[in-house]
Amino acid sequence: MALKELQHLYWRAGFGIHPETMHALPKRRNDVVEQLFTDSKSSTPLQLDLSFMEGVTIKKIKDNPEFAKDIRDKSRKKLRDLNYAWIHQLAQPKELLREKMTLFWANHFVCKSNNVVYAQQFNNTLRVHALGDFKAFVKAISKEAAMLKYLNGNQNRKAKPNENFARELMELFTLGEGHYSETDIKESARAFTGYNHDFDGNFVLAKRRHDEGLKTFFGKTGNFSGDDIIDIILENKQCAVFISDKIYRYFVNPKPNKKHIQAMVEVFYKDYNIENLMRFVFLSDWLYDDENMGSKIKSPIEYLVGLTNTVPVTFEKERDLIKIQKLLGQTLLDPPNVAGWKGDKAWIDANTIMVRLKLPSVILNNAVIASGEHDEFKKKFMKKHKGKLPFKTQPNWTTFLENFEAVETKDLQGYMLQGTINKGTSDYLKTLSKVSKQEYCVQLMSLPEYQMC
């Protein structure tokens, strides 16, 4: 594989790649791709210390308001820890592709929970199924405590069906808008009645609340369960179209190519095996077309993790990781709504682009690259912090220099910037000093082109 193809693959399947790692890879595309899947066969769960929940029961929470408040406060603090743990696992993954897929699915099966036990369990369910059987994945999601609470599934009972999950199951998770009727929603909601969970987050089917009557769904009639509904949905090829389209926009190019997506559909619809679909994408010649390289605006998490993947960084205050996520517009475990983040051009506006262009110098150089009097970063953040930098960090330049030892400073841009560089940027790069590899790295990361992958 050519250098730029390897870089492109590792931005799609991960968060970039070091020259040292790159040169150790096999030469053939098939072997490189196969290694990605081999390395992601296993799954490393996030596991916080949640011992504060030991001995806690529903009765204790109901009987003691102060105790209940203490548990809620501790859970909120632990949710921050879960955010940090997830960021660290993305930055230093044992299973690179699985972690990238987990990030993708988190913005597909969108869910939010204030209960850290349920949130951690849901996140690990995404991770376990990220490269597996999509049918089993959807069924597992339908039974997750976090999702049951988020979409009111635990309030769905035969006397009074709640349609929230049934609607989003089809609109956002499997088929897309316009491929079902209101009757389909009502009938499928009946099939999911009685879905609940115990205090520990284990799935429970409350039989007394479950509707055992006949349901008519997509032209079929039977005493359908929730699993039956999911089976029927996946018989519809539109599900393979919907998921393939979404994966194409995320892993290939935000602008869809119908021919390529249709080829993905034919692979995926056979057995709904996610690994087979992703292998097909990564092995396809069209993934490496020039039009797909540098075609994506990095999500805030891709941007932050990619930056720290190039130059490892320790934050003096770990909570600054969440502060940065909020500034950039994407906070893990805190989606804006059930549809998730829109992505692509929605990641960038007048404020976030300025923050992105300044962050490398703040995080890696303890400085801010000078600019005009209308500098929004200085207005919003330097002023707020009385002229002091808002983050204190310790960049590990030693590791960076080791990873890029074989790369001459003048060639660094070939590793840092993806896709086409416009003439203005190209002319600007010629004016920059290339004496210090660190300084040049920060300057490259401060370019608009660095926002692309």
Mean pLDDT of 37-63: 97
Question: Which of 292, 327, 357 is at the close of a domain?
Answer: 292
Of the pLDDT bands very low, low, confident and very high (cuts 50, 70, 90), residue 373 is very low
260 and 382 belong to one structural domain: no
C-alpha–C-alpha distance, residues 388 and 381, integer Å: 9
Domain that holds residue 366: 300-451
- State which of 256, 275, 292 marks the end of a domain: 292
Residue 338 inside a domain? The answer is yes
Whole-angstrom Cα distance, residue 222 to residue 63?
Answer: 43
* 288 & 307 share domain: no
Give yes or no: residues 337 and 377 share one domain.
Answer: yes
**Residue 407 per-residue DSSP state:** S
Over range 268-281, report the average pLDDT.
Answer: 98
* Pair (309, 287) in one structural domain: no
CA–CA distance, 141 with 120 (Å, rounded to integer): 13
- Give which of 40, 18, 132, 419 is closest to 253, Cα–Cα: 419
CA atoms within 13 A on the CB side of 394: 6
- Residues 273, 378 share a domain: no
Phi/psi of residue 377, each to 5°?
A: -65, -45
Say whether both 427 and 341 belong to one domain.
yes
Residue carrying the six token digits 């205090």: 199
Domain identity same for 360 and 407: yes
- Per the domain annotation, does 329 fall within a domain? yes
Does residue 16 fall inside a structural domain?
Answer: yes
The answer to whether residue 83 is domain-embedded is no
Strand partners, 216: 221
For residues 165 and 156, the answer to whether their CB atoms sit within 8 Å is yes
pLDDT tens for 170-224 read 999 999 999 999 999 999 999 999 999 999 999 999 999 999 999 999 999 999 9
Q: Indicate if 331 and 242 belong to the same structural domain.
A: no
Same domain flag for 286 and 304: no
CB 90, CB 34: distance < 8 Å: no
Is there a single domain that holds both residue 427 and residue 328?
A: yes
Q: Are residues 362 and 257 in the same domain?
A: no
Are 280 and 361 contained in the same domain? Answer: no
Longest dimension (CA), the chain: 76
Residues counted in the chain:
453
Number of domains, the chain:
2
Residue 50 within a domain: no
Would strands 220-222 and 215-217 be described as parallel, antiparallel, or unpaired? antiparallel
- Compute the distance between CA of residue 91 and CA of residue 99 in angstroms, rounded to an integer: 9
Q: How confident is the model at residue 390 (pLDDT cuts 50, 70, 90)?
A: confident
Q: Over pLDDT 70: what percentage of the chain?
A: 95
pLDDT for 118-167, tens place per residue? 999 999 999 999 999 999 999 999 999 999 999 999 999 998 999 999 99
Report which of 309, 310, 314 is spatially closest to residue 392, judged by C-alpha positions: 314
